[in-house]
Amino acid sequence: VNRHEHDDVTGHYTTKELMLKDIKLMKQFNINAVRLSHYPNDPLFYKLCDEYGLYLVDEANIETHGLGAEFQAWFDKSKHPAYLPEWAPAHVDRTVRMVERDKNHPSIIIWSLGNECGNGQVFHDNYKWIKNRDNTRPVQFEQAGEDWNTDIVCPMYPSIGSMKRYAADTTKTRPYIMCEYSHAMGNSNGNFKEYFDIIRNSKNMQGGFIWDWVDQGIKTKDLNGKEFWAYGGDLGGFYWQNDENGVADGMVSSDRTPDPGAYEVKQIYQNVWITDKAVSRGLVTIENNYDFTNLSEYNFKWVLFRNGVQIKEGIFPVQLAPHQKKDFQLNLPIVKAEAGSEFYLNFSVTTKNASASLDAGFEVAKEQFKYAGDYFAKEFKTDTKLVVKNENNKI
């Protein structure tokens, strides 16, 4: 996920407590990597990510979007800093300061040259400088596209079609990691599974960073004293240029309450996959997509429901090394379809022991399969007349 530094009271100043809240929430929602958009963060955040275990893309504080950017629309390169040698020192200075300050943090796995800022000689030189200074980490740069000065192809908001073409092209050898995708504004993060249907079936397709983590709203009060999160022109700039709801685009609200889309992300990001091999006969396939963790560290449970009411449950052990999969034969009850009933089988994977980020018993993965029956809820009818009331701006 992409993360801006934001507090709903103090703005861009964030406390250690809020940083930890972000990190733990990300771990709870199966997020394992953060792009620091679009500037190096408070040094404390890196230390906490070193300790708690999040991968970071450290990004130079370089953006000249107002003058134009590659792959968006025509712009005048004769007036753009990325293509003018007199601007090279300013760009190199920001890159050097980032790398020299942050180079010893193991959580940083990728350097980024900047965001939406063109790709001229200035960035060719910046790429070369980083590779000469630190050849242990890859460098990514969305503005380079598939040019030579990026080790990772990292587009913004690619179409499903373009992703399929890249995945199918055997001449493409660089990793493909979207620097921004699945924009989380409003009722968003839909069709999220379609991205990962492609990612999970190609070695080069390696994920992406959702835009973005938190709504950048500021807590304030209306004329009646009711608190709300202000954005755009709410703080007095209504008649002037502002970002409107463009800053309210996070997976979590300004107070870190997860939006509904966050639960879709958690489901698709989960590292334990349970698939139906022949579930009606108790046969499922379990795959461990963790890099370092054996599934013996988790509890596995199944629960059988009839019309939404639990009727049976059971637990079963799973011993499975990272990146392995195996069929499991479960001792499930025999169920026959019956009129007016439908049966669903739920699986839940929870932690056995507490960790720095997750409590014992925390659910890290789940799955559901239809088990028997195919019925809809009963339709209720009444002769009572529908009454609609509109009071205090509420229906």
The per-residue pLDDT for range 56-79, each reduced to its tens digit, is: 999 999 999 999 999 998 899 999
Give the residue from 349, 353, 372, 163 showing the smallest Cα distance to 271: 349
Residues 336 and 248 in one domain: no
- Our CA dihedral for 376, 377, 380, 386, rounded to 10 degrees, sits at -100
Residue 395 lies in a domain: no
Q: Is 268 helix (H, G, I), strand (E, B) or coil?
A: helix
The pairing of beta strand 272-278 with beta strand 283-288? antiparallel
Residues 142 and 127 in one domain: yes
Q: Does residue 203 surpass a pLDDT of 80?
A: yes
Q: How confident is the model at residue 237 (pLDDT cuts 50, 70, 90)?
A: low
Residues 172 and 23 in one domain: yes
Structure tokens at 133: 């200074």
* Domain containing residue 106: 2-268
Calpha distance 50→36 (Å, rounded): 14
Report the first-to-last Cα separation within the chain, whole angstroms: 37
The pLDDT, as a whole number, for residue 202 is 93
Pick the last residue of a domain from 268, 284, 315.
268
Pick the last residue of a domain from 226, 246, 268.
268
Residues 115 and 219 in one domain: yes
Q: How confident is the model at residue 233 (pLDDT cuts 50, 70, 90)?
A: low
The pLDDT, as a whole number, for residue 81 is 96
Residue 387 lies in a domain: no
Q: Is 328 helix (H, G, I), strand (E, B) or coil?
A: strand
Residues 236 and 149 in one domain: yes
Residues 124 and 180 in one domain: yes
Residues 261 and 279 in one domain: no
* pLDDT per position as a tens digit, 131-149: 999 999 999 999 999 999 9
Question: Where in the sequence numbering do the catalytic residues fall?
Answer: 116, 180
The pLDDT, as a whole number, for residue 290 is 97
Which residues in the chain belong to E strands, given as ranges?
2-3, 33-36, 55-59, 108-112, 139-140, 176-181, 205-210, 218-221, 227-230, 272-278, 283-288, 298-306, 309-316, 325-329, 343-351, 363-372
Which stretches within 134-247 are classed as H helix?
160-168, 192-199
Q: How confident is the model at residue 386 (pLDDT cuts 50, 70, 90)?
A: confident
Q: Count of domains in the chain?
A: 2
Residues 206 and 352 in one domain: no
Residues 308 and 252 in one domain: no
Q: Is 320 helix (H, G, I), strand (E, B) or coil?
A: coil
The pLDDT, as a whole number, for residue 36 is 98
